[in-house]
Amino acid sequence: MALGLSVIFGVVRVVNFAHGEMMTVAMYLTLVLFGALKLDPLVLLVPIAAVLFVFGYLLQVGLINPFINRPEHSQFMLLVAVALILVNLQLIVFGPDAQGIRTTYSFDSFQLGPLIVDAAKVYAAGAALVVAAALFAFFRFTLLGKAIRACADNYEGARVVGLNVKHLYALTFGLGAACVGAAGAMLMAVIDVTPTIGPAYTLLAFVIVITGGLGSMPGALLGGLLIGVTEALGGVLFTPSAKSMFAFALLVLVLLFRPQGILGRKAA
């Protein structure tokens, strides 16, 4: 999920404040499809990512493209409005109660010596790694991927060379949205969804992405790992209710001393 944000911000330079809300849309979609088709959410991942891709693409073309060169606060307002609409539409359609899906492995756990590991999370993590690898390969090895990276590095240069930047931006947003979609599907295997969980995830995604490095994919993964460990340690060593504070403290430190993130490149 943070990967998606990293991709979007790294390339299109738009801060997607509706990121978390897009994920809840994906989660609700998973819920509906699971109910209708009874397929495992990790399998549903693919079609849902596809749907979100289209959604992201359309969103970019329709609403965001005109905003590329507008100041940050305008972009921010735009996405805040989108987020507001999405959250309340979900409230109207799905109601406020938490809804979840149960798979055969919802409650399984593996025992590795003294460690007990949650099975559902392991599967979801595996799926996440697969998606991340696929994305990485795409950017590294395909022509399209390289084109997108070119746009990120040098907007003017890309246009000079003849790349259709608008289209590529839309594609990138779509890709980022697809990541979000995949994340949503994976998350459904682990938690329940209500219309209002979006914003917390948007924030989390930002914390992870910035810590790890915007525009760097391994960075997003590293960031996720780091934040997770920090929160867990903080929870164990101090009072658990304050564990998010440690994540934020880490964020502040990163912003101050290494704003490009741990694995990011210095911004052009």
Partner 1 sequence: MITRLLEGVPRRGLAMLATLLVLLLLFPLFASGYLLAIGFLILYFAYVGQAWNIMMGFAGQLSLGHSLYVGLGAYAAAALYVHFGLSPWVGLAASITVCALAGTVIGFLAFRFGVAGVYFAILTIAFAEFARIGFDHFTWVRGSSGLFLPVANYTENDLWNLRGSPRMFYYLMLGLTVGAFVLCHVLLRSRMGYYWLAIRESPEAAQALGVNIFRYKMYAVVLSAAMTSLAGVVFAFYYNNLFPEQIFHISRSIELILGPIIGGIGTLIGPLVGALLLTGLAEGMGELLLALGVDVPGVKQVFYGICLLAVVMFLPDGVWPPLARALGLERKDKD
Partner 2 sequence: MKRRQFTQAAAGLAAATTLAPFGIARAQSRTLKVGVLLPRSGVQAGIGQDCHRGVQVATGILKDLGLPGLEIMNGDTESNVDVARSRAERLISEGAQLLVGAFDSGQSTAIAQVAEQRGVPFVINIAAAPPITEQGYKFVFRNFPTAPMILGDAFANQLEVFSMSGAAPNTAVFMHVNDTFGVAMQKGFTGVMSKFTMPYKVVDTIAYDPAARDLSVEVAKAKATGAQALILVSRLNDAILLTRELVKQRWSPMAVLSMGPGWYEDQYLKTLGKLGDGPISFVPWYDPNKKLAKQLEAAHRKAFPDINLNTNHIYTFEALLIAADAFKRAGSTDPKALADAIRATDIKDNVSTGPGIKFDAKGQNDKLKNSAIQNRGGKLVVVAPKAASNAKPELPIKPYDKR
CA distance 246 to 252: 10
User: Residue 6 is encoded by which pair of tokens?
Assistant: 């990293």
Tell the smallest beta-carbon distance from residue 7 to partner 2 (Å). Answer: 22
Is residue 66 involved in binding partner 1 (CB under 8 A)?
yes
Determine the interface stretch with partner 2 among 52-60, 169-177, 192-200, 207-215 (rule: CB under 8 A): 192-200
Number of residues forming the site for partner 1 (CB under 8 A): 39
How far apart CA 183 and CA 94 sit, in angstroms, is: 20
**Could you give the count of Cα atoms lying within 13 Å of 53 in the half-sphere of its Cβ?**
12
Residues 213, 227, 177, 67, CA torsion sign? negative
Residue choice 126, 240, 249, 255 for contact with partner 2 (CB under 8 A): 240
User: Is position 236 an interface residue for partner 1 (rule: CB under 8 A)?
Assistant: no
- Residues 207 and 227: their CA atoms lie apart, in Å, by 8
Strands (E), 67-176: 109-112, 115-118
Helices 119-141, 165-188: crossing angle, 10 deg rounding: 170
Rule CB under 8 A: choose which of 243, 258, 260, 262 binds partner 2.
Answer: 243
- For residues 237-266, which are near partner 1 according to CB under 8 A? 239, 241-242, 244-245, 248-249, 251-252, 255-257, 259
Of the listed pieces 76-84, 122-130, 145-153, 181-189, which binds partner 1 according to CB under 8 A?
76-84
Q: How far is CA 27 from CA 5, 34, 124, 233, 235, in A?
A: 17, 10, 14, 29, 27
Pick one of 32, 92, 191, 229: the residue that binds partner 1 (CB under 8 A).
92
Amino acid present at 26: A
Collapsed DSSP state (helix, strand, coil) of residue 115: strand
Task: Tell me which stretch binds partner 2 (CB under 8 A): 142-150, 166-174, 213-221, 231-239.
Answer: 231-239
202 binds partner 2 (CB under 8 A): no
Binding mask 1-20 for partner 1 (x = CB under 8 A): --------x-----x-----
User: How many angstroms separate the CA atoms of 215 and 15, rounded?
Assistant: 12
Beta strands in the chain (DSSP E): 109-112, 115-118
Residues 6+ apart with CB under 8 A from 49: 131, 178, 179, 181, 182, 185
With CB under 8 A as the contact rule, the residue among 77, 98, 144, 267 that binds partner 2 is 98
Rank residues 184 and 198 by Cβ distance to partner 1 and give the closer one: 198
* # residues near partner 2 by CB under 8 A: 36
Where do contacts with partner 1 occur on this chain (CB under 8 A)? 9, 15, 63, 66, 70, 72-74, 76-78, 80-82, 84-85, 87-89, 91-92, 199, 203, 206-207, 210, 239, 241-242, 244-245, 248-249, 251-252, 255-257, 259
Where do contacts with partner 2 occur on this chain (CB under 8 A)? 88, 91, 95-100, 102, 106-109, 111, 116, 118-119, 191-192, 194-197, 200-201, 204, 231-232, 235-236, 239-244
